[in-house]
Amino acid sequence: MADATIIENATDGDIADWLAQRLGEAFAATEGPVTITVPGGSTPFPIIEQLLTRDLDWSRLVVWPGDDRIVPEDHEASNTGKLRKLFEPAGAEVVTLTIMEQVPHFDLAWLGMGADGHIASLFPNTDPKLDEPRSILRLTPDPLPPEAPFDRISLTLPSLLASDQILFVIRGSDKRTVFDQALAGKSDLPVARLLAGAKQPVTCFT
Protein backbone atom coordinates (compact mmCIF):
# COMPACT_ATOMS: atom_id res chain seq x y z
CA MET A 1 0.00 0.00 0.00
CA ALA A 2 1.23 3.55 -0.78
CA ASP A 3 2.68 5.69 2.02
CA ALA A 4 -0.12 8.27 1.83
CA THR A 5 -0.91 11.35 3.91
CA ILE A 6 -4.41 12.78 3.52
CA ILE A 7 -4.92 16.46 4.36
CA GLU A 8 -8.63 17.23 4.64
CA ASN A 9 -10.53 20.38 3.68
CA ALA A 10 -7.53 22.23 2.28
CA THR A 11 -8.04 25.57 0.57
CA ASP A 12 -6.33 26.38 -2.72
CA GLY A 13 -4.05 28.67 -0.67
CA ASP A 14 -3.11 25.80 1.68
CA ILE A 15 -2.14 23.66 -1.30
CA ALA A 16 -0.21 26.53 -2.89
CA ASP A 17 1.69 26.96 0.39
CA TRP A 18 2.54 23.25 0.47
CA LEU A 19 3.71 23.34 -3.14
CA ALA A 20 5.81 26.47 -2.55
CA GLN A 21 7.47 24.78 0.43
CA ARG A 22 8.25 21.60 -1.57
CA LEU A 23 9.55 23.59 -4.55
CA GLY A 24 11.67 25.78 -2.28
CA GLU A 25 13.25 22.63 -0.81
CA ALA A 26 13.86 21.23 -4.30
CA PHE A 27 15.47 24.51 -5.48
CA ALA A 28 17.71 24.49 -2.40
CA ALA A 29 18.80 20.90 -3.04
CA THR A 30 20.16 21.56 -6.55
CA GLU A 31 21.69 24.32 -8.63
CA GLY A 32 19.96 23.01 -11.73
CA PRO A 33 16.36 23.11 -12.84
CA VAL A 34 13.53 21.56 -10.87
CA THR A 35 11.12 19.53 -12.98
CA ILE A 36 7.51 18.79 -12.14
CA THR A 37 4.50 17.34 -13.90
CA VAL A 38 1.10 18.89 -13.34
CA PRO A 39 -2.48 17.93 -14.21
CA GLY A 40 -5.03 19.69 -16.35
CA GLY A 41 -8.83 19.74 -16.23
CA SER A 42 -10.08 22.55 -14.00
CA THR A 43 -8.90 21.82 -10.43
CA PRO A 44 -5.23 22.89 -10.64
CA PHE A 45 -5.46 26.32 -12.22
CA PRO A 46 -6.72 28.41 -9.26
CA ILE A 47 -4.06 26.70 -7.13
CA ILE A 48 -1.35 27.53 -9.68
CA GLU A 49 -2.50 31.16 -9.75
CA GLN A 50 -1.95 31.36 -6.00
CA LEU A 51 1.31 29.41 -6.15
CA LEU A 52 2.79 31.88 -8.62
CA THR A 53 2.29 34.75 -6.17
CA ARG A 54 4.85 33.05 -3.88
CA ASP A 55 8.42 34.36 -3.92
CA LEU A 56 10.42 31.66 -5.75
CA ASP A 57 12.84 31.72 -8.69
CA TRP A 58 10.34 30.50 -11.29
CA SER A 59 12.99 30.61 -14.03
CA ARG A 60 14.39 27.41 -12.51
CA LEU A 61 11.13 25.51 -12.90
CA VAL A 62 10.35 23.18 -15.81
CA VAL A 63 6.69 22.13 -16.07
CA TRP A 64 5.52 19.04 -17.93
CA PRO A 65 1.79 18.67 -18.53
CA GLY A 66 0.93 15.16 -17.33
CA ASP A 67 -1.55 14.85 -20.16
CA ASP A 68 -3.43 16.83 -22.73
CA ARG A 69 -6.34 16.79 -25.06
CA ILE A 70 -5.36 16.67 -28.75
CA VAL A 71 -6.48 20.20 -29.57
CA PRO A 72 -4.63 23.37 -30.56
CA GLU A 73 -3.03 25.19 -27.63
CA ASP A 74 -5.40 28.14 -28.02
CA HIS A 75 -8.43 25.82 -27.66
CA GLU A 76 -10.25 26.23 -24.34
CA ALA A 77 -9.75 22.50 -23.60
CA SER A 78 -5.95 22.63 -23.96
CA ASN A 79 -4.17 21.90 -20.69
CA THR A 80 -0.84 23.04 -22.14
CA GLY A 81 -2.26 26.35 -23.34
CA LYS A 82 -3.60 27.16 -19.87
CA LEU A 83 -0.38 26.11 -18.17
CA ARG A 84 1.68 28.20 -20.60
CA LYS A 85 -0.46 31.30 -19.94
CA LEU A 86 0.13 31.00 -16.20
CA PHE A 87 3.69 29.74 -15.87
CA GLU A 88 5.53 31.39 -18.76
CA PRO A 89 4.97 35.04 -17.72
CA ALA A 90 6.49 34.07 -14.36
CA GLY A 91 9.60 32.76 -16.14
CA ALA A 92 9.03 28.99 -15.93
CA GLU A 93 9.39 26.69 -18.93
CA VAL A 94 6.37 24.66 -20.09
CA VAL A 95 7.20 21.60 -22.18
CA THR A 96 5.09 20.54 -25.18
CA LEU A 97 3.96 16.96 -24.64
CA THR A 98 4.68 14.91 -27.77
CA ILE A 99 5.53 11.28 -28.30
CA MET A 100 9.12 10.92 -27.10
CA GLU A 101 11.08 8.03 -25.74
CA GLN A 102 12.39 9.54 -22.54
CA VAL A 103 10.96 11.77 -19.90
CA PRO A 104 12.90 13.11 -16.91
CA HIS A 105 12.70 11.97 -13.31
CA PHE A 106 10.28 14.46 -11.73
CA ASP A 107 10.90 16.25 -8.45
CA LEU A 108 7.14 16.16 -8.00
CA ALA A 109 4.26 14.49 -9.85
CA TRP A 110 1.01 16.37 -9.22
CA LEU A 111 -2.07 14.47 -10.32
CA GLY A 112 -5.79 15.01 -10.53
CA MET A 113 -8.31 12.20 -10.82
CA GLY A 114 -11.64 11.82 -12.61
CA ALA A 115 -14.63 10.23 -10.88
CA ASP A 116 -14.04 7.21 -13.15
CA GLY A 117 -10.61 6.72 -11.56
CA HIS A 118 -8.57 8.09 -14.46
CA ILE A 119 -5.33 9.90 -13.76
CA ALA A 120 -3.56 12.07 -16.33
CA SER A 121 -5.34 10.70 -19.46
CA LEU A 122 -5.01 7.07 -18.41
CA PHE A 123 -8.69 6.15 -18.56
CA PRO A 124 -9.99 2.75 -17.39
CA ASN A 125 -10.59 1.52 -20.98
CA THR A 126 -6.91 2.10 -21.85
CA ASP A 127 -5.79 -0.55 -19.33
CA PRO A 128 -2.64 1.27 -18.13
CA LYS A 129 0.16 -1.03 -16.99
CA LEU A 130 2.89 -0.56 -14.41
CA ASP A 131 5.35 -2.24 -16.80
CA GLU A 132 4.35 -0.14 -19.84
CA PRO A 133 7.60 0.28 -21.83
CA ARG A 134 6.53 3.56 -23.48
CA SER A 135 6.93 6.92 -21.73
CA ILE A 136 4.11 8.78 -23.45
CA LEU A 137 1.03 7.45 -25.24
CA ARG A 138 -1.75 8.71 -27.49
CA LEU A 139 -5.08 7.36 -26.27
CA THR A 140 -8.80 7.51 -26.95
CA PRO A 141 -11.00 7.49 -23.81
CA ASP A 142 -14.07 5.27 -24.13
CA PRO A 143 -16.53 6.59 -23.19
CA LEU A 144 -15.33 10.04 -24.19
CA PRO A 145 -15.82 12.36 -21.20
CA PRO A 146 -18.55 14.88 -22.16
CA GLU A 147 -16.63 17.81 -20.63
CA ALA A 148 -13.58 17.11 -22.84
CA PRO A 149 -14.46 14.66 -25.65
CA PHE A 150 -11.07 14.48 -27.32
CA ASP A 151 -8.27 12.04 -28.05
CA ARG A 152 -5.50 12.38 -25.50
CA ILE A 153 -1.76 12.29 -24.99
CA SER A 154 -0.49 11.18 -21.60
CA LEU A 155 2.49 10.24 -19.53
CA THR A 156 2.31 6.53 -18.66
CA LEU A 157 2.30 4.97 -15.19
CA PRO A 158 6.08 4.37 -15.14
CA SER A 159 6.70 8.00 -16.23
CA LEU A 160 4.46 9.37 -13.46
CA LEU A 161 6.02 7.05 -10.90
CA ALA A 162 9.53 8.22 -11.80
CA SER A 163 9.16 11.03 -9.27
CA ASP A 164 10.35 11.92 -5.77
CA GLN A 165 6.86 12.52 -4.47
CA ILE A 166 3.27 12.44 -5.64
CA LEU A 167 0.57 15.00 -4.93
CA PHE A 168 -3.16 14.47 -5.47
CA VAL A 169 -5.90 17.05 -5.15
CA ILE A 170 -9.21 15.18 -4.86
CA ARG A 171 -12.29 17.36 -4.52
CA GLY A 172 -15.83 16.03 -3.98
CA SER A 173 -17.24 13.06 -2.10
CA ASP A 174 -17.68 10.89 -5.22
CA LYS A 175 -14.02 11.20 -6.12
CA ARG A 176 -13.00 10.73 -2.50
CA THR A 177 -14.76 7.36 -2.32
CA VAL A 178 -12.99 6.24 -5.51
CA PHE A 179 -9.63 7.40 -4.14
CA ASP A 180 -10.10 5.74 -0.72
CA GLN A 181 -11.02 2.42 -2.34
CA ALA A 182 -7.99 2.64 -4.62
CA LEU A 183 -5.71 3.41 -1.69
CA ALA A 184 -7.10 0.42 0.21
CA GLY A 185 -6.41 -1.84 -2.78
CA LYS A 186 -10.12 -2.41 -3.33
CA SER A 187 -10.20 -1.45 -7.00
CA ASP A 188 -8.16 -1.99 -10.14
CA LEU A 189 -8.78 1.45 -11.64
CA PRO A 190 -5.85 3.45 -13.10
CA VAL A 191 -5.49 5.42 -9.84
CA ALA A 192 -5.31 2.14 -7.88
CA ARG A 193 -2.64 0.79 -10.20
CA LEU A 194 -0.55 3.94 -9.74
CA LEU A 195 -0.93 3.84 -5.96
CA ALA A 196 0.00 0.14 -5.93
CA GLY A 197 3.25 1.02 -7.68
CA ALA A 198 4.09 4.11 -5.60
CA LYS A 199 7.22 3.73 -3.47
CA GLN A 200 7.56 7.48 -2.85
CA PRO A 201 5.47 9.56 -0.39
CA VAL A 202 1.97 10.40 -1.60
CA THR A 203 0.15 13.48 -0.26
CA CYS A 204 -3.54 13.90 -1.01
CA PHE A 205 -5.37 17.17 -0.37
CA THR A 206 -9.15 17.01 -0.30
Ligand X SMILES: O=C1O[C@H](COP(=O)(O)O)[C@@H](O)[C@H](O)[C@H]1O
Asked if residue 15 binds ligand X (CB under 6 A), the reply is no
How far, rounded to the nearest angstrom, does the alpha carbon of residue 199 sit from its chain's CA centroid?
17
Asked if residue 59 binds ligand X (CB under 6 A), the reply is no
Question: Contact with ligand X (CB under 6 A): which of 42, 53, 59, 140?
Answer: 42
Asked if residue 190 binds ligand X (CB under 6 A), the reply is no
Alpha carbon distance 45, 9 (integer Å): 18
Question: Contact with ligand X (CB under 6 A): which of 64, 97, 114, 153?
Answer: 114
Asked if residue 46 binds ligand X (CB under 6 A), the reply is no
Alpha carbon distance 87, 90 (integer Å): 5
Give whichever of 49 and 57 is closer to ligand X, judged by the CB atom: 49
- Which window, 15-23, 36-44, 178-186, 192-200, contacts ligand X (CB under 6 A)? 36-44
Asked if residue 128 binds ligand X (CB under 6 A), the reply is no
Question: Contact with ligand X (CB under 6 A): which of 41, 46, 104, 197?
Answer: 41
Asked if residue 40 binds ligand X (CB under 6 A), the reply is yes
Angle at alpha carbon of residue 63, lines to 61 and 66, rounded to 5°: 155
Question: Contact with ligand X (CB under 6 A): which of 67, 139, 160, 182?
Answer: 67
DSSP assignment string, 71-86: S-TTSTT-HHHHHHHH
Alpha carbon distance 8, 90 (integer Å): 30
Alpha carbon distance 106, 62 (integer Å): 10
CB of 67 to ligand X, least distance (A): 5
Give whichever of 68 and 107 is closer to ligand X, judged by the CB atom: 68
Alpha carbon distance 86, 81 (integer Å): 9
Please give the size of the binding site for ligand X, defined by CB under 6 A: 13
CB of 117 to ligand X, least distance (A): 11
The per-type count for the chain, helices as H runs and strands as E runs, is 6, 10
Asked if residue 148 binds ligand X (CB under 6 A), the reply is yes
Beta-bridged to residue 93, according to DSSP, are: 62
User: Reading across the β-sheet that carries 136-139, which strands appear in turn?
Assistant: 67-69, 152-155, 136-139
Asked if residue 48 binds ligand X (CB under 6 A), the reply is no
Asked if residue 126 binds ligand X (CB under 6 A), the reply is no
Residues that bind ligand X in the complex, under the rule CB under 6 A? 39-43, 66-67, 79, 112, 114, 120-121, 148
